[in-house]
Amino acid sequence: MMNMRRMSLLQILFATVLGSGVVVLQTNAGAGGTVTDASAPVEAGVAGALRTIGAYPQERGVGHTVTALPDGRVFVYGHRPVATPIDAVILDPKLRNAELNSVTPVMWDPKLHGWKAIENPPECQFSAYLHTATALADGRVLIGGGLCDIPRSRDDTRPHVPHTALSLWNDAAQKWESAPELFQARIYHTATLLTDGGVLFVGGESDTRASDKTEPVLDSVELFRDGKISQLPHLHSARAKHTAVRMADGTVLVAGGIVMDGRALAAVEIWDPAKQAWRDAPPLKTPRYGHTAALLSDGRVMISGGISQENMPTASVEIFDPKTNQWSDSAPLLTPLQRHASIVLGNGDVLIVGIGIDRDHPFPQAMLWEKSTGQWRPAGEFSPYRYKGSQSYALAPIPLKNDAVLVFDSASIMQWAPSSGVTGHSAYGGRDGYASILLNDGRIMLAGGNTLMPGGRIGALPLDWVEIYDPATGRFSVTGRLTQPREALSAIVLNDGRAVVASNWPHAPYNVRPASHRFAEIWDPRTGQWSALNTIHFDTPDWLSLEKIGKLNDGRLLFIFSVEFNYRALIWDPRTETTEAKQVSATHRIGAHIAIIPDGRVLFEGGRSGRNMDETRLPEVWDSRTGKVEALPYPPKWFYGGVEPLTLKSGNVLLIDRSSSGNDPKPVVLWDALNGAWRLLPPLPVSEETGIRKPQMIELSDGSLLTETLRLQPGASSWSAVQRFPQAQATLMQLPSGQVIALSLSSPHAAYFNQHAGQWQIQTPAYYLRRKEKPRPVLLELADGRVMVSGNIDTEGWPRETTTQIWDPKSGAWTSTGKLANIYTGVSEAVRLPSGQVVFVGTDRGGNLRCEIGHPADNTWSDCGASMPVKNSPAQFTLTSLQDGRAVLMFGQSEVYAYREQAAQWLPLREDITREPNVIAMSSHAFRLPDGCLISGPPFRISNSTTGKELYPASPVTGIKDSDARMIVLADGTVVVAGYPEGADGMGEGFFHRKASCAGFETQDGDERYMPAISAAASSSMPIAAIATTDSWWQRYVAIIAPYKWLLLAVLMPFVLYRPLRKLVLHFNGGDPTLTMPRNFVIGMRTLFYGIAVLIALALLLPRTSFFRPSEASRTNAATASPCRFIGVWTSTRSGAQYQITLTDDGRYATDPIADGSGSARIHTGTWEIQGDKMIWHHDLVKGEVADINPIRQESDGAFTLIEENGESSRFMRQKKIDSATCSQ
Q: What is the pLDDT of residues 92-106, one digit of tens each?
A: 333 333 344 457 898
The architecture in CATH of the region 538-684 reads 6 Propeller (2.120)
pLDDT-derived band of residue 1140, with 50, 70 and 90 as boundaries? confident
| C-alpha distances in Å from residue 185, one per residue of 129, 387, 689, 824 | 13, 35, 58, 56
- Per DSSP (E only), the strands in 479-607 are 489-493, 499-503, 519-524, 529-537, 544-551, 557-563, 566-573, 578-584, 593-596, 601-605
pLDDT in tens, 564-608: 778 889 999 999 989 998 989 998 888 788 999 999 999 998 877
Q: Is 931 buried (19+), middle (13-18) or exposed (0-12) by CB count in 10 A?
A: middle
Mean pLDDT value across residues 294-314: 91
pLDDT exceeds 60 at position 1030:
no
| pLDDT for the residue 362 | 61
Residue 338 parent element (H or E)? strand 338-344
Backbone angles phi, psi at 382, to 5 degrees: -95, 145
pLDDT exceeds 80 at position 894:
no
Q: How many CB atoms lie within 10 A of CB 37?
A: 9
pLDDT-derived band of residue 24, with 50, 70 and 90 as boundaries? very low
Tell me which residue of 245, 356, 241 sits closest to 302, measured CA to CA.
Answer: 245
Residue 54 parent element (H or E)? strand 48-55
Report the topology of domain 2-418: Neuraminidase (2.120.10)
pLDDT exceeds 70 at position 732:
yes
| pLDDT for the residue 134 | 94
* Region of poorest pLDDT, from 251-255, 442-446, 686-690, 934-938: 686-690
Mean pLDDT value across residues 619-635: 92
Q: How far is CA 1180 from the centre of its chain?
A: 40
| pLDDT for the residue 246 | 97
Q: Which one is predicted more confidently, 152 or 894?
A: 894
Mean pLDDT value across residues 277-288: 96
pLDDT exceeds 60 at position 1028:
no
Two domains, one topology: 2-418 and 538-684: yes
Backbone angles phi, psi at 143, to 5 degrees: -100, 125
Omega within 30 of 0 (cis) for the link into 938: yes
Tell me which residue of 928, 744, 906, 774 sits closest to 839, measured CA to CA.
Answer: 906
For 766-916, CATH number out of 2.30.42.10, 2.120.10.80, 2.30.33.40, 3.20.20.540 equals 2.120.10.80
| pLDDT for the residue 983 | 47
Q: How many CA atoms lie within 13 A of 1027 on its CB side?
A: 6
Mean pLDDT value across residues 239-255: 96
pLDDT exceeds 90 at position 327:
yes
Mean pLDDT value across residues 316-325: 96
pLDDT-derived band of residue 36, with 50, 70 and 90 as boundaries? very low
| pLDDT for the residue 310 | 82
| pLDDT for the residue 84 | 42
Q: How many CA atoms lie within 13 A of 505 on its CB side?
A: 12
- Per DSSP (E only), the strands in 859-919 are 860-863, 878-881, 887-891, 895-900, 905-908
Q: Which one is predicted more confidently, 1029 or 1181?
A: 1181
Q: Which one is predicted more confidently, 362 or 1124?
A: 1124
pLDDT in tens, 992-1003: 888 998 888 887
CA pseudo-torsion sign 96, 98, 100, 101: positive
To the question of domain 1112-1217 being in CATH 2.40.128.280, the answer is yes
Q: What is the pTM of this model?
A: 0.65
pLDDT-derived band of residue 768, with 50, 70 and 90 as boundaries? low
User: Three-state DSSP class for 651?
Assistant: coil
| C-alpha distances in Å from residue 888, one per residue of 435, 655, 844, 901, 1149 | 52, 55, 20, 12, 21
Mean pLDDT value across residues 191-215: 78
pLDDT in tens, 59-116: 776 678 899 888 878 899 987 665 444 333 333 333 333 344 457 898 888 777 778 8
**Top-ranked range on mean pLDDT: pick from 643-657, 800-814, 867-881:** 643-657
Residue type, 270: I
Backbone angles phi, psi at 138, to 5 degrees: -90, 10
Mean pLDDT value across residues 710-720: 89
pLDDT in tens, 1072-1082: 655 566 677 66
Residues 6+ apart with CB under 8 A from 180: 166, 224, 227, 228, 229
pLDDT in tens, 329-356: 999 888 787 778 899 988 899 999 887 6
| pLDDT for the residue 239 | 96
| pLDDT for the residue 744 | 78
* Region of poorest pLDDT, from 615-629, 895-909, 1020-1034: 1020-1034
pLDDT-derived band of residue 129, with 50, 70 and 90 as boundaries? confident
Q: How far is 181 from 119, CA to CA, in rounded Å?
A: 20
Mean pLDDT value across residues 639-650: 75
Mean pLDDT value across residues 642-646: 73
Buried b (16+ CB within 10 A) or exposed e, 1115-1137: bbbbbeebebbbbbbbbbebbeb
pLDDT exceeds 80 at position 377:
yes
pLDDT exceeds 50 at position 125:
yes
pLDDT in tens, 1108-1134: 444 443 433 433 467 888 888 888 866
User: Three-state DSSP class for 875?
Assistant: coil
| pLDDT for the residue 85 | 41
Q: How far is 213 from 207, CA to CA, in rounded Å?
A: 10
pLDDT-derived band of residue 776, with 50, 70 and 90 as boundaries? confident
pLDDT exceeds 80 at position 10:
no
| pLDDT for the residue 524 | 93
| pLDDT for the residue 80 | 65
Residues 6+ apart with CB under 8 A from 1224: 1120, 1121, 1122, 1123, 1124
- The mean of the pLDDT values for the chain is 75
Q: How far is 1122 from 1168, CA to CA, in rounded Å?
A: 9
Q: Which one is predicted more confidently, 506 or 653?
A: 653
* Region of poorest pLDDT, from 79-88, 559-568, 845-854: 79-88
pLDDT-derived band of residue 37, with 50, 70 and 90 as boundaries? very low
Mean pLDDT value across residues 1183-1195: 70
Where do the domains of the chain lie? 2-418, 422-482+496-536, 538-684, 696-765, 766-916, 1112-1217
| pLDDT for the residue 351 | 92
Percent of the chain with pLDDT over 70: 66
